[in-house]
Structure 1
Amino acid sequence: MAIPVSIGNEHFPTKAAAIARCQEILRAYPGTPGSGPGQPQAVTDPAHIAFLQALIARHPDAQERTKPGVAGFKVQVNPEGIGNTRCFYVVHPDGSSIRFSFKSCL
């Protein structure tokens, strides 16, 4: 039996549907050419930002990932990953950032 997943105000009939939504958001930010290593791109869509705020709150290490606060989110290539895997990052008010796995949030 499929278990529904709710993230913020979005509701999904299955975990696979929630994963597809996360991947859709990742694909919406393909990278800004010339922006540096990993081609980071800020998440700017208010609906995407609200979704990611709710998503990171579900992360098992949410407090660690969001300390010292959340200034925004970005998508960029994970330098430790294989190939050109784009990942979500929490951007802190001091400009630092930390990667988080959306799968860990589900």
Structure 2
Amino acid sequence: MVRPGWFDYNAPGELALVMLQGDTRHAGDPSDGVVSRRQIAQVLVSALTSSEADHKTLELVAEHGPAPTGLAPLFADLAADPPGSLDAALDKANMPLDAEPAGVQQELEAVRTG
């Protein structure tokens, strides 16, 4: 799963893709990280055929620097999502499942068993 930063707020030269985990940026503005739609598409297409991307969730941003020549090493450095978990790798446990509203719990159970 790809969680992109702010779309198309890149400054010139922000071509270096950075894959983060843990959903730690919460400013609610482009200071959380930016990424172009082209970069998002590149990562999504690459993830479809990359075994290194399998079962991994990432936050995608671009920073100043050159574009990567390949994405496999970036995917390989990520932790895999825990099997059966509703949270991604390194995400904070910010809402215990039993504290979710009943409707949310029912929908999550339908996804798990469906």
TM-score (norm 2): 0.25
The higher relative CO (CA closer than 8 Å, separation ≥ 6) is in 2
User: Quick check: which one's strand share is greater?
Assistant: 1
Larger Rg: 2
TM-score (norm 1): 0.26
